[in-house]
A and B are shown apart, each in its own frame.
Chain A
Amino acid sequence: MMIVFYIAAVIAVAATVMTITLTHAVHALLYLIVSLLAVAVIFYTLGAPFAAALEAITYAGAIMVLFVFVVMMLNLGEAAVEQERRWLDRRMWGGPALLAAALLAELVYTFAFGIGPGGPSGGGVSPHAVGAALFGPYLLAVEIAGFLLLAGLVGAYHLGRRRTDAEE
């Protein structure tokens, strides 16, 4: 299990370094997604399968899709088609694809041999325990998180609308 952890840690650090050094936002986002997936694998090795699933679905899925949408919206223009063609270059997606393939190999290895504290054999903290804690002693915090999400929704709607000339 330790070798899985170390490989995922190296992938996470390498992908994060690429994220903060690349100049093109979409390329950096690809590496950031790989970094988040590597952290999800690390959560799994730490015996937190529920957090690993949330990391992959919410962070690497939903939040990064928001980023990609906004970066695409900032790039609207007549040069967008040419830019699209350049993004499909192998040099652009080769690095992230290689790192993601390494993570997939780790996942297959872990499942094939049934190892790990978060595996089906038990160990770690189960989603049941997390849910019981979330809606037990932390119920008030869950309500406050709901308020926060509502505020974020209203704020994003207010800020994101296109202002018309009459308002200027």
Chain B
Amino acid sequence: MTNTLPVLESLVLAAVLFALGLICVLVRRNIVFMLMGLEIMLNAAGLAFIAAGARWGSADGQVMFIFILTLAAAEVSVGLALILQMFQRFKTVDVDVLRRMEG
């Protein structure tokens, strides 16, 4: 049963999803979509951990996935609060408006 696990295909899928998330962060200028891209990338990293854990039949991969889940929850709560602040101050979600922060 173990050798029928789609481990290699899962790693390829994780790479594809990570690349798509990276494209989303790099291409989009709407900060909500950029945060979504970050979520896609974190999720792809979790998929790679699960696939590796399944390959070795070990629980460590799922433990790391739970930590990634915790990280994503904390990150998204702070990120969305920042988006709300930005929308209150600048009335837009376009990150190019924040160029003034260069100092």
Contact = CB atoms under 8 A, between A and B. Distances in A.
Contact of A9 (B9, B65, B72): B9
Interface residues of A, number: 63
Nearest to A134: B63
A48 to B, nearest CB: 5
B71 to A, nearest CB: 7
B73 A62 contact: yes
B77 A152 contact: yes
A108 B85 CA distance: 44
Interface residues of B, number: 61
B63 A67 contact: no
Nearest to B54: A46
A63 B62 contact: no
Contacts of B7: 46
A13 B7 CA distance: 17
A117 B54 CA distance: 10
B33 A5 contact: no
A26 to B, nearest CB: 10
Contacts of B2: 117
B40 A160 contact: no
A48 B43 CA distance: 15
Given A63-B76, A159-B84, A160-B80, 19 more contacts: A2-B4, A6-B9, A16-B17, A17-B20, A42-B47, A48-B50, A48-B53, A48-B54, A50-B62, A59-B39, A67-B35, A70-B83, A70-B84, A73-B84, A74-B83, A117-B5, A151-B74, A152-B78, A157-B81
Interface of A: 1-2, 5-6, 9, 12-13, 16-17, 19-20, 25, 28-29, 32, 35-36, 39, 42-43, 45-48, 50-51, 54-55, 58-59, 62-63, 66-67, 70-71, 73-74, 117, 123-125, 129-130, 132-134, 138, 141, 145, 148-149, 151-153, 155-160, 162-163
17 contacts: A13-B13, A17-B20, A19-B36, A19-B40, A20-B23, A42-B13, A46-B6, A48-B65, A58-B69, A63-B73, A63-B76, A67-B76, A70-B32, A70-B83, A130-B59, A134-B63, A155-B81
